[in-house]
Amino acid sequence: MKKICFDIGGSSIKVITFNEKNEIVSRDKLDHIGTKKYSFASSDMDKLKQELPDFKIDSDLIKSIPLIKCLENINNYVEKLNEKVKIGISIPGVVDNKKYKVLTESAICEVDVDILGFFKNQKLVDEIVIENDGKAAAIGEMVYGQDNKLTNAIILTVGTALGGGIIINKKVYKGSHLQAGEFSKTLANINKHTSYISNLAVSTLSTVMVCMAYKMMSKTSEFIDGFKFFELVEKNDPLAIQLFDNWVKSLTNFLINLNMFDPEKFLIGGGVSANKIFMDALKKEVEKIDYTVLPKIYLESCKLTNDAACYGMLAIIEKEYIEE
């Protein structure tokens, strides 16, 4: 029986189908369907509009898609295949995989949905598992990317938001409230005592916010996403270079703080992990750290790059990773 693994992101849904031997037989990308709604960042956008009334915001960068629309998209994909399958769904936000519930909004909104109940009458779905996207990426990289040789590590996924997984003694640590690894929610500036998104790590470390900063500062009417931003960096656009350098420095500082867990290594996942310019710059910045005072940081990109979350769902389906 085939296994179809879906990785829900802010801009689309990645799909990888595996055969009985766990070999990839197809890849797809599903564009989100339905009307996007303003995300948790909208309060900051209101402030931004007041300060810069002429600034046109790329709505797709700051809006979320309702969870039910993602599930409908996935269900439509399964229907078209017209064969019995097992499915795994990697979802952003805090996820209770035992109750099949998403507990917090992120790139996905209106999350109060019974996921197991949604697929209850879908006869083509033999089994369904869900997990947080960052934790799924950590599982996938540990089991398949690193051949189960990791004991302690931190996987940091950099994309629409900032997520990841903390591996302790070969298990992904979830915490008391399932929120471990929600790196987006950490404070970027400890001197400010507000919970606005502008004061959270996601505001300085995610790809989306870097793109928004470029658009705001350049006052361009052009749509700026991660691909376009890296094109500008390659062309030595002065503003893009400035923002890129600041981004890499901020990520390095973030790694210094996370190094308190004393992992064997940091593994960078998400969309940027396959970008050589980004990874080379981050490694170079990490090498500049004064290690006479700070513990050594060992850094590399996930071997599975942006496929790690789908592989994590495969590991859960195949019970190659069993949660205690």
CATH code, domain with 145: 3.30.420.40
Does the residue 324 lie in any domain?
no
- Check residue 42 and give its pLDDT: 43
* Residue at 225: amino acid letter: D
Quick count: other Cβ atoms within 10 Å of Cβ 24? 14
Range of the domain at 201: 2-317
Does the residue 67 lie in any domain?
yes
Does the residue 322 lie in any domain?
no
Return d(Cα 130, Cα 312) in angstroms, integer.
10
Q: Are 124 and 151 in contact (CB under 8 A)?
A: no
Does the residue 191 lie in any domain?
yes
Does the pLDDT value for residue 70 go beyond 70?
A: yes
Does the residue 288 lie in any domain?
yes
Does the residue 83 lie in any domain?
yes
Instruction: Assign 270 a pLDDT band (cuts: 50, 70, 90).
Output: confident
Does the residue 265 lie in any domain?
yes
- Check residue 103 and give its pLDDT: 96
Structure tokens, 214: 């470029």
Domain count, the chain: 1
Distances (CA, A) of 163 to 85, 111, 207, 293, 320: 28, 18, 12, 28, 23
Q: Which residue has the tokens 């629409």?
A: 160
- Check residue 131 and give its pLDDT: 98
Degrees (nearest 5) of the Cα angle 245, 250, 251?
A: 100
Does the pLDDT value for residue 86 go beyond 90?
A: yes
Does the residue 140 lie in any domain?
yes
Helix (H) or strand (E) holding 306, with range, is none
Return d(Cα 165, Cα 154) in angstroms, integer.
6
* Residue at 163: amino acid letter: G
- Check residue 171 and give its pLDDT: 96
Region 55-64: mean pLDDT is: 50
- Check residue 182 and give its pLDDT: 86
Q: Over the stretch 290-317, which tens digit does the pLDDT of each residue have? A: 888 888 999 999 999 999 999 999 999 9
Quick count: other Cβ atoms within 10 Å of Cβ 185? 16
User: What residues contact residue 36 under an 8 Å CB cut-off, 6+ apart?
Assistant: 59, 60, 63, 64, 65
- Check residue 107 and give its pLDDT: 82
Q: Which residue has the tokens 């197809």?
A: 26
Return d(Cα 65, Cα 68) in angstroms, integer.
9
Quick count: other Cβ atoms within 10 Å of Cβ 35? 9
Distances (CA, A) of 119 to 69, 125, 266: 13, 7, 36
Distance of CA 250 to the CA centre of its chain: 18
Q: Are 238 and 270 in contact (CB under 8 A)?
A: no
Does the pLDDT value for residue 136 go beyond 90?
A: yes
Q: Over the stretch 8-57, which tens digit does the pLDDT of each residue have? A: 988 899 999 999 999 999 999 999 987 555 444 444 445 444 544 444 44
User: What residues contact residue 289 under an 8 Å CB cut-off, 6+ apart?
Assistant: 252, 256, 297
